Amino acid sequence: MQALFILLVWSVLIALGLSAPFVLGLAYIWVDLFRPQDVVPVVGQLISISMITAVLAVGMYLVADRRDPPRLGLLTVLMMVWAGWITLTTTWALFPQDAWWKWDWAFKTVVFTALLPFVFRSRIQIEAALMVLLCAVAAHVLPYSIKGLISGGAYDRPLGLIAINAHWGGEGSTLATYAFACLPLVAYLQRHSLIAPATGIMRYVYMAAPLLALAGSFATFARAAVIACLVWAALTWWQSRRKSLLAVAFVAAAIAIVPLMGERWVARISTTLEPSQEESAHTRLIVWGWTIDFANQHPAGGGFNAYHANFIVTPGPDGVDIITEARAFHSVYFEILGEHGWIGLGIFAALLAVMFFDMWRVRRASRGDPELEWLGDLARALSHAMLIFMAGGAFVGIAFYPLHYYLFAFAVCARAALQRARRGVAVAPAATDPGADPAVAASRHLPAWRIRAAGTKDPARRTAHGQG
């Protein structure tokens, strides 16, 4: 029954995509993040759902949707350089079979997300992509939240839709990082959504999102959850105009949630400040030290899954040596350093730096312009989401999982939307009947970026959004 329902949802998206090609891009985001083939494994046995969706999305774009592509920018160029470098390092990988297996999905992640800005051009399309991303993530976080509130959660135990401790939806640290990284995007939609404005029941959905993310993330017992939560709270507090009230709300939420997690949660999280007192955290530090030495000897990296080469002997407390062998990197940065060397780490750092710079430029260009307020807030939300990912990702090896690559893609979309606005090309949906009201009809003679965004008090202008 589950398989039939998932295949029905996928089929509907594919059918809609044949008439509106950007929907196929939405379908790929849903498949990539929700992972129906892992939620219901029989789906993956019946059909190669990911490959078919990707081929259709690219094919329909090339055949029917090559309108107003974004200008080539440094961020896109760096994405292609990054894809090329990880391919090159795979040719000299220490463990070729494992390396090419990981390259197969990592390369697809990088390349396909680099193509998404060509598909999502208008404000509505960008918003639809954000909503699909958030719904896919929420589908995995929500079961953790419910079970965490009921039972208090547990470490290294799948509590979500994926029954194994794998992929982002089944691995606690990754799920916690994703949950908090998505909250700035939720806040953006709460303020600017045209598809699901914060009225009626949606108002309460937006308000509940931080609490559900908090409960679901803490239920994983992952230390990364606390780090990501602190960064999200700091960014939210800094941007708030009611700092005292928000600080009280944060304290109240902590007082309510922490006791529900139980003493085991407190005992595990307390080791964050003293990693040498906990075996898992201490081993992680040892592996990070080995990775730096390894990268110094292999500046171009050891290829994907190079961690299989580590063999570390350390003295134990009872005088017996402790052997650490083939332990994963457990960090985005050390994963990149070990697999792709100092050169790869430099390319990835450049990607982050260029994204933040581009989003700063978008915010600066849209400041003071009510028509582009949504774009400035989107740029800020993407920057904050990436900062939260960077904090949580420091403790889990997810350098080639999809979320942050989608953030790169949406950053390119935001920059392209600003460029289109400057050229007078519309970036939001058109009025259904522009001749029905004189004020709306008059707006046709104005540049599209000067048409007031939805949410204004002028009802005539609420519908005056030109389609990109």
The answer to whether 418 and 375 are in contact (CB under 8 A) is: yes
Please indicate, yes or no, whether residues 256 and 361 belong to a single structural domain of this protein: no
Residue reference for tokens 């600017």: 192
Question: What confidence tier does 463 reach under pLDDT thresholds 50, 70, 90?
Answer: very low
- Does the residue 63 lie in any domain? yes
For 8, residues 6+ apart whose C-beta sits below 8 A from its C-beta are: none
Based on the fold, state whether residues 428 and 417 are members of the same structural domain: no
Residue 382 domain-assigned? no
On the CB side of 392, how many CA atoms lie within 13 Å of its CA?
32
Predicted confidence at residue 465, as pLDDT, reads: 37
- Quick one: 240 and 365 in the same domain? no
The residue ranking higher by pLDDT, 425 or 361, is 361
Q: Is residue 388 assigned to a domain? A: no
**In a shared domain, residues 400 and 350:** yes
Using alpha carbons, select from 341, 352, 339, 274 the residue that is nearest to residue 305: 339
- Domain containing 433 equals 424-468
Tally the domains of the chain.
Answer: 4
pLDDT digits (tens, 9 = 90+) for 48-93: 899 999 999 999 999 988 888 888 999 999 999 999 999 999 999 9
Average pLDDT, the chain: 85
Q: What is the pLDDT of residue 227?
A: 92
Residue 453: predicted pLDDT? 39
The answer to whether residues 128 and 14 belong to one domain is no
Q: Which of 226, 243, 273 is the last residue of a domain?
A: 273
Average pLDDT over every residue of 425-440: 45
CA angle, 366 as apex, 411 and 370 as ends, to 5°? 125
Q: 176 or 256: whose pLDDT is higher?
A: 176
pLDDT tops 90 at residue 39: no
Task: Say if residues 349 and 305 touch (Cβ distance below 8 Å).
Answer: no
Last residue of a domain, one of 273, 307, 340: 273
CB atoms within 10 A of CB 207: 12
Q: Specify the pLDDT at position 47.
A: 87
| pLDDT for the residue 65 | 85
240 in a structural domain: yes
Q: Average pLDDT, stretch 417-445?
A: 56
Question: What pLDDT does 207 receive?
Answer: 93
Among 194-203, 256-265, 352-361, 454-463, the range scoring the smallest mean pLDDT is: 454-463
Q: Same domain, yes or no, for 288 and 246?
A: no
Nearest residue to 26 (alpha-carbon basis) of 56, 64, 3: 56
Asked if 84 and 53 sit in the same domain, the reply is no
Are residue 231 and residue 294 in the same domain, yes or no?
no
Quick check: is 375 in a domain?
Answer: no
Rounded mean pLDDT, 386-413? 95
Of the three residues 216, 249, 273, the one that is the final residue of a domain is 273
The tokens for 233 are 């709270």
> What pTM was computed for the model?
0.86
- Per cent of the chain over pLDDT 70 is 85
Percent of the chain topping pLDDT 90: 57
**Statement to judge: residues 342 and 431 lie in one domain:** no
Average pLDDT over residues 129-158: 85
In this predicted structure, what is the pLDDT of residue 418? 94
Residues 334 and 461 in one domain: no
Within a domain: 377: no
Query: Would the CA dihedral through 226, 227, 232, 233 be positive or negative?
Result: positive
**265 and 126 housed in the same domain:** yes
* φ and ψ of 449, to 5 deg: -75, -5
Residues 291 and 178 in one domain: no
Residue 429 lies in a domain: yes
User: For residue 40, is pLDDT > 50?
Assistant: yes
